[in-house]
Structure formats: structure tokens, C-alpha cells
Amino acid sequence: MISTSAKALYHFVRGRIVKSPVKYHADSFPRMELGHTPLFFYKPSGYSFEREFRMLLTPGEHESVRGDDLGRHVPIRVKKIVRPVVTHPKASKEFKTKADHRLAHFLRCIKREDSALLP
């Protein structure tokens, strides 16, 4: 798990990116009446355990979106937003070593740790 904070995302992710915690409501909540972005930022209350935070890049005036778009490059200062990287304590040694090598190469200031929540 790679963690960050909403504060870091609000501060360091700029541009036309709409940022918001997901709002959880009853299935009967009329999301369609609020416009096109509520479908992205509202979920049924049964998913409230997820405590999601989402970001949505809105197309610019002269941009279009095709059905086969896989995403857009958005420059983000990753070193400013990534917090501790936590792995499952039972993850394989190979996986943990790979994660450590990636962090050493891309984010030297961030260290990996095992989760203390599970035995």
C-alpha cells in the first residue's frame, strides 16, 4: 500500500484536476440530477469502508476523449505526496526486495515497512 494525505494531494496536484473525498449516500440518492461529475464522486453507502479520495482530470477546451483512452500524463511531484510504503507482512521476500529496489531508485527518502496490523 502506498499512502498519502488529502492535504498533500490538494497542495501538490495542480491544474484542471478536481479533487474530492468520495461521498457515500443511499442508493436512492439522485446523483444524475447533479451533473456529470457526481457519478465519479458519489458511491452507495455500502462502500463507505473504503474511505476513497478521487481525482478527476477534466478535458481542456480543445481536448477530446475517446473510448480507448487509457489515461493522460499528469506531472506530479511524487516525492512530495508519497508517504510510507507498507507491505503485507506475509508478502514474499522477492516482492519486498523488488519494492525496496524501486524505492531506492525512484524515492530514496521513502522506506518500505511491514504492516503492523496483521500478524
What are 62-119's pLDDT values in tens digits?
Answer: 887 777 777 777 788 888 888 888 888 889 999 999 999 999 998 888 889 888 876 5
Q: Lowest mean pLDDT of 10-19, 33-42, 45-54, 93-102, name the range.
A: 33-42
Task: Report the amino acid identity of residue 52.
Answer: E
> Residues 8, 11, 16, 22: what is their CA dihedral angle, to the nearest 10 degrees?
40
> Hey, is 22 helix, strand or coil?
coil
Looking from the CA of 60 toward its CB, the CA atoms found within 13 Å total 4
Question: What pLDDT sits at residue 101?
Answer: 94
Q: By CB neighbour count within 10 A (0-12 exposed, 13-18 middle, 19+ buried), where does 33 fall? A: exposed
Q: Which three cell numbers stand for residue 114?
A: 511491514
Question: What pLDDT sits at residue 33?
Answer: 64
